[in-house]
Structure 1
């Protein structure tokens, strides 16, 4: 079997699924993409649009554990554990992943993947004829008090930020930011080498349009289960229809857990949920994304409006949203003095997160035609393009630009 004569079924049409489908298609696979998210509610399209190549240190770390108490939602922070008993097995795995030796191994693996993320995005944006959607203007981080600025700047200057660079906000940059706020800008950093997607709905549309234009088949259905026949698997749709392919690639985000479980494979994903508010009418200037670290909030100007995003909420994927989080985002925007008009559109979505905060990328050793790409946590948008390239290499038997052993799902066996 060669890719030029073989069929592939990609399960899940978020940004990772679409990038993988396009990469396989470029290799000659006949690709069908199955996805039930007709309204575009996946976290792929609800994030801050930030290509975060600076986040090389996995959040499964002792440093994250030490900072957790002051970050609880009840004390004004972004962190909320809504169903602690249900999440205990995942928390136990997370704590083991925070061991220094495991953190260092994960750090090295994630750093290598992120080093290739932006070049891969340039290639993907060019391939779908949408280079203008990728804006390489960096991002800013700021603080509102001298004490938090000292702590924050010291932390970032001591962190590994991969291929990104940073410097203090220049006088003109700081003055521009201060002119838009009613709180002081006590300090700030300008990151270079990071990027932003200018319009997430336009990106979603362009990725799918390019896929269909090249002969891909889009099916608006939900895959309910995977079934085995010896070392071969096929998918079963919610209506009972059987879907066969020479390659089945699972990119279903947090729903990948239940799909892999139907084959007896363990994918300990948790729904790590984020929230945003977006105003269509605003007076915010054309600045790079701005992180307000004292508030754990990122503000991004998109083509379609101004988006304020925050929160790390661990809950069931189908647990109803918490309106208090939207209320807090609204308070932050008002307290900052940001001029917005009208009512914002609210959103929440579930990031698919594994205990070690590394993605699962690979081919199954138990089934000949099964591959997977999920568990990208906060870095789904950032890592989508390189994930597609890596999966295409693995499925073609080629050595990839990044070593993939650290991302094998068997690490949780």
Structure 2
């Protein structure tokens, strides 16, 4: 069955409305999901371990006497590391090394300076005390997500990283546990769903409360993260995966088709877009898509994604391609062109930018080094990839000298009285020298 992919042309009068329709994604949460999640969170908040056990039995079909039985030991993580095939262990270790090396360069230090009055100003950078990492379980087991979420936290100096991962029917994924061992995760609980998010947010008798929850999950997990935000921090509410490729028409069409597949295979809502000034190349890629699709294990998912949400967009030149890309603000952006450095100057909004024909987005998912937790649904306009900075907080440092308190106290006094806040003004005025 041939896949017919939407064609857009930036020179058409209705291009703007067509693009808006293409990008529209309904992220509204079903009322029933909302109610269910709120009920679960309330139960976990008020009943702790007891509620966690009940929901774990209900949703994961695990019947245990206590939450302590869901607490995996470090010995069990090491056992998993030894149990996986050597090539997988080596690959995990190599990926972890690159992820750690990249994120160590993001580590921010405290700083101070002194002004002419001897007043000390600065910023104290402090890691979070405890971070929670949600990792999908069951069929969707992603050891790469463990590395990408846990390693920045450890580099930041987070005191304790708590990982939660569901194990439906008691099925444990050793690759995920091995990744936790390599990344230095401190504790692992085999709990999932909204109940795991609630346990991390509020704490139970056994599972400690954290300061921030990161990591991907299904609609119940995403809704729970949205609900507990404010009690704890969260990384983001992620939408479907996206890839946008800008190509000058000189890359092998099969390469580009497979790059588009690499995101389309995630789920039916994933979005794959190719922009090129070469109409014949767009035709060639569409032919490659139809040629290669039958060879894919997840062909049905890819077909739905490509039919419903993919697009081939023709532009007049690469500069116009960059403008269209900036409007889309994609999660992943491939610059499959002769001179990616030159085009990079025109890119303003993208979660991650993959430079040149040999830089497949898939490398970024696993082992390039930069984080694969990226803003989706156009949020790259104001958001950044997950990083060390997400696990650190900053406190302002202000230390006035007597001379500085005198000089700036006069300024504060005027402004405070202008706002009608007399106590503010007098507090500053007490420290002003009288002639």
Q: TM-score range by the shorter chain?
A: under 0.3
Larger Rg: 2
- Name the structure with the higher strand share: 1
- Name the structure with the higher helix share: 2
- Give the alignment's TM-score, normalised by structure 1: 0.24
Q: Which has the higher contact order (CA 8 A, sep 6+)?
A: 1
